[in-house]
Chain A
Amino acid sequence: MSEERDPAALEAEDDLFVSAMESPEAARLSAEDISPSSNGPKAEPVLLDDDPDDPDDLFAEIDEDEEESRDTFDIQISVSDPEKVGDGMNAYMVYKVLTKTSLSIFSRDEVCVKRRFSDFLGLHSKLASKYMHMGYIVPPAPEKSIVGMTKVKVGKEDLSSVEFVEKRRSALERYLLRTVKHPALLKDPDVLQFLESSELPRAVSTQALSGAGILRMVNKAADAVNKMTIKMNESDAWFEEKQQQFDNLDVQLRKLHASVESLVCHRRELSVNTASFAKSAAMLGNSEDHTALSRALSQLAEVEEKIDQLHQDQACADFYLISELLGDYVRLITAVKGVFDQRMKTWAKCQDAQVMLQRKREAEAKLQHANKPDKLQQAKDEIREWEGKVQQGERDFEQISKNIRREVGRFEKDRVKDFRVVIIKYLESLVHTQQQLIKYWEAFLPEAKAIA
């Protein structure tokens, strides 16, 4: 048996050496690429190179926006201390939102307010209605969960409702951080009010069954129908390519998310099975009449118990680090696609305006021959009105296109950052788990050897 292991182990070591040799290459590559771009921000920040070479894509974005956000990115937000207020079905959770910052737009260095879940939803809905049609990617709020919340309301203090509250708290924190990372949203008065003012008007329209809620659902349906009927004449290859990319990414990301959720589930199973094996091994040790073997088996049981705890912790890490983040990104991609749709809507409006203008012009031409001076004047006025609308529509379209390009660039950079942070943390957690495993097994080895 041992002979068969060694070649496999050797192969593993070979892999390591190969990888270790690759990394100096990669590092050197990055070092070289910094130098040309440090000559300062490029003149035309928005025009993205279609060059697929990676260094260019990343460094092309060192424009004014980026420098601004780097200077001003000094804000920390934490969501903590969930407290239950009230009883029964009217109960709700209140979270403490603590903001620490040195930015001047805030009135104080440290602000602490209490907010409930519907406040967050209210904030999101205001931001979405203000900015989405301009092409800004507004971070989506965490999802509602009737089942989860009901359990909490009813007062069950069990593990699943504690987990649910923790999941939600973490999601709310990520939501706020993502929102303030957006340079425009950070300055928005609603955001400032949310973070600073002690009293906030209750956001009633976020309830699912309210009038506003139903209106939202109707609008969503209408949008979906419209999307199918609008056949946009895409003149810009960049948009076509990006649209396709995001559609693909949506599908792939959901698959990845499902795989990670499966990993979390199986790791939890592993932890349960390890615990039950530990118990069984302990009983076997008790039954064993050879003293040294009996002791060794009991020790084995203890080791497995510790390992079970390790698995649980690792599962938690899997979950909070990766799975939840992926869920956020799935929703974020939906928001991105929404913004593309807004652009389509804007284009459609522009087209409609042009059609109207054409009609008005035709009507005026007809009136020219009909000799009705007052109607003619009206027609001329209408033509001017619609010319204005067409111009506005074209401006809107250009603006939203420009905004989207910038937003997508920011999104792509942010996701690289997020990804790096997550993968580094995850690898750290894995390393830690392995350290513990090694410690436990090395402690057990002498016990096993002591069986005589």
Chain B
Amino acid sequence: ALCERDKVKFTVHTKTTLSSFQKPEYSVQRQHEDFIWLHDTIVETEEYAGLIIPPAPPKPDFEGPREKMHKLGEGESSMTKEEYAKMKQELEAEYLAVFKKTVQVHEVFLQRLSSHPMFRKDRNFQIFLEYDQDLTVRRKNAKEMFGGFFKNMVKSADEVLISGVKEVDEFFEQEKNFLLDYSSKIKDATAKAEKMTRSHKNVADDYNHISGALNNIAADNNTAFKKHLEKCAEVFEKLRKVEDRMASDQELKLTELLRYYTRDIQAAKDLLYRRARALADYENSNKALDKARLKGKDVAQAEENQKQCLQKFDKLSESGKKELTSFKARRVVAFRKNLIEMTELEIKHAKVRRLKCYVYHYMFIRQCSGILI
């Protein structure tokens, strides 16, 4: 990804052996809004109603680093040169972390599409990857945005309907219950994980301040004490670095995982919703057919309508089952990978911390016994 002033531009690099593509390799520049356009067109495609549509990547959020940059600019006159350099370093690290996060999440979105047998053939997806000019996509105007919002509201009302609709298929009944429950739990877990990560960052910040304060005191002293203080400041500085890295790792592996699957669960729920809608339509068409038969009017039309509704419902059920099963497998694999990686990183960081503390401890003890009796 590249940053150009306000807009973040992503460089999408594609390598392919598919015959549908014109060249084996592509490299194009895309903006976040282009990803959203792609996602929305896929959602609106009727054909994909029976598939779990990969959730759209969230907007890149540089609010945190931007705030810090502001503070840095304001406080520049009141800080020492060292403090300023340190803060700038921190700022750059934070920017980098946000970059990594947002690149990852956009990449995963595209990878999901390209690994799915149906999505990878999608015409718009191809355009997205191939077209070497700017996709000056029509931004959603106000009416469309409002329409989308309204649609979401209707959907939530329908969700209540879904839970009420009588389910004939055992598989879908189970899935529905599971998804509804899991979705609220995972949302909660995501929020708590975010708070936990925030606290880790606060502790790292405190280590930073302590280190700075110790250095300030050391600057005033010109005795052996000064060396001790400076060493001590070093300890806290190193602790801070490790704590910071650990907080970012935890965020990437745990919090981001939970965030992603919260969105994915929502996509699965959307699939269920669409199927329930189709079921409701089918039941309505049945009622309409009965009415038509009673009245003796438009029977053929009603029969045709009913047939179509049934077809749609069956198709959704069939692909839905496949999708939900592979979704579970996908989820388990992702959790496993991330939990393992997170645990390994935790262990690594704890070992590093332990080693550093031990080394400094040893140093202090040796200095002690060298002077005291």
Chain A positions near chain B (C-beta within 8 angstroms) = 1, 4-5, 8-9, 12, 15-16, 19-20, 23, 26-27, 30-31, 34, 52, 54-55, 57-58, 70, 245, 248-249, 252-253, 255-256, 259-260, 262-263, 266-267, 269-270, 273-274, 276-277, 279-281, 283-284, 286-290, 292-293, 296-297, 300, 412, 415-417, 419-420, 423-424, 427-428, 430-431, 434-435, 437-438, 441-442, 444-445, 448-449, 451-452
Contacts of A412 in B (CB 8 A): 223, 225
Stretch at the interface among B125-133, B147-155, B341-349: B341-349
On whether the beta carbons of B370 and A27 are closer than 8 Å, the reply is yes
On whether the beta carbons of A249 and B223 are closer than 8 Å, the reply is no
21 A-B residue pairs with CB within 8 Å: A16-B355, A23-B366, A30-B371, A34-B371, A54-B224, A245-B221, A252-B220, A255-B213, A267-B203, A270-B199, A276-B195, A286-B185, A288-B182, A412-B223, A419-B225, A419-B229, A427-B358, A430-B353, A431-B361, A437-B346, A441-B346
Contacts of B213 in A (CB 8 A): 252, 255-256, 259
| Closest CB in chain B relative to A301 CB, distance in Å | 10
* Alpha-carbon distance A273/B213, docked complex (angstroms): 27
On whether the beta carbons of A9 and B348 are closer than 8 Å, the reply is yes
Q: Which residue of B lies closest to A271 (CB)?
A: B199
Interface secondary structure of A, over-half rule: helix
In this assembly, does B108 line the interface, its C-beta being within 8 Å of a C-beta of chain A? no
Contact of B224 (CB < 8 Å), options: A259, A266, A286, A416? A416
Contacts of B174 in A (CB 8 A): 289
Stretch at the interface among B52-60, B84-92, B331-339: B331-339
| Closest CB in chain B relative to A282 CB, distance in Å | 10
New contact pairs (20) apart from A5-B345, A270-B199, A438-B351, CB-CB < 8 Å = A27-B367, A31-B370, A52-B222, A55-B224, A252-B213, A262-B209, A270-B202, A273-B192, A273-B196, A274-B196, A280-B192, A283-B185, A283-B188, A300-B339, A417-B372, A423-B228, A424-B365, A427-B235, A438-B350, A445-B347
On whether the beta carbons of B340 and A449 are closer than 8 Å, the reply is yes
Q: Which residue of B lies closest to A19 (CB)?
A: B359
Contacts of A57 in B (CB 8 A): 223-224
* Alpha-carbon distance A410/B324, docked complex (angstroms): 75
Contacts of A4 in B (CB 8 A): 100
Contact of B200 (CB < 8 Å), options: A249, A270, A427? A270
Using a Cβ–Cβ cut-off of 8 Å, how many residues does chain B contribute to the interface with A? 83
On whether the beta carbons of B370 and A290 are closer than 8 Å, the reply is no
In this assembly, does B368 line the interface, its C-beta being within 8 Å of a C-beta of chain A? yes
Q: Which residue of B lies closest to A448 (CB)?
A: B339
Contacts of B331 in A (CB 8 A): 290, 293
* Alpha-carbon distance A30/B367, docked complex (angstroms): 7
Contact of B206 (CB < 8 Å), options: A52, A248, A262, A296? A262
A8-B223 contact, Cβ under 8 Å, with A23-B363, A252-B216, A441-B347: no
Nearest 6 A/B pairs, CB to CB: A30-B370, A54-B224, A434-B354, A270-B199, A256-B213, A263-B206
* Alpha-carbon distance A264/B296, docked complex (angstroms): 81
Contacts of B222 in A (CB 8 A): 52
On whether the beta carbons of B220 and A248 are closer than 8 Å, the reply is yes
List B residues 167-198 near A (Cβ within 8 Å).
Answer: 174, 178, 181-182, 185-186, 188-189, 191-193, 195-196, 198
* Alpha-carbon distance A428/B207, docked complex (angstroms): 17
Contacts of A52 in B (CB 8 A): 222-223
Q: Which residue of A lies closest to B344 (CB)?
A: A445
Q: Which residue of A lies closest to B225 (CB)?
A: A416
On whether the beta carbons of A431 and B206 are closer than 8 Å, the reply is no
Which among A58, A256, A279 has the highest number of chain B CB atoms within 10 Å?
Answer: A256
Contacts of A293 in B (CB 8 A): 331-332, 335-336
* Alpha-carbon distance A448/B343, docked complex (angstroms): 8
* Alpha-carbon distance A19/B357, docked complex (angstroms): 12
* Alpha-carbon distance A423/B196, docked complex (angstroms): 27
* Alpha-carbon distance A423/B236, docked complex (angstroms): 11
